[in-house]
Amino acid sequence: MNPYPGNDNSYVHGKIGVRRVAKLVLDQLGENAAEYAVTRALVLQRQGDEIGASTWRRVAPVIEELQRKKPKKSAGSN
């Protein structure tokens, strides 16, 4: 039985799941995505959800990696 039923992260398996979550968060939050992941990890840790916090700590650096690889739009292009 999951001790944290409200934070069931069983869908985040291995590198593929973490990368998928990172991409979803990045698509939704843009440049604020990594900060959100770090903050979410801290909130969950303070609430005693070590599993959830650990998951978000794994997602944050993947978001940062995706942000570094994302091409920057130039001022004149749409």
pLDDT over 90 (residue 12): no
Digit-coded pLDDT (tens) for 17-67: 899 999 999 999 999 999 999 999 999 999 999 999 999 999 999 999 999
- Whole-number pLDDT of residue 16: 80
Ordered by start, the domain boundaries in the chain are: 14-69
Q: Do the beta carbons of residue 33 and residue 26 sit within 8 Å?
A: yes
Task: Give the contacts of 55 (CB within 8 A, at least 6 positions apart).
Answer: 9, 12, 18, 21, 41
Q: Is the full-model pTM beyond 0.85? A: no
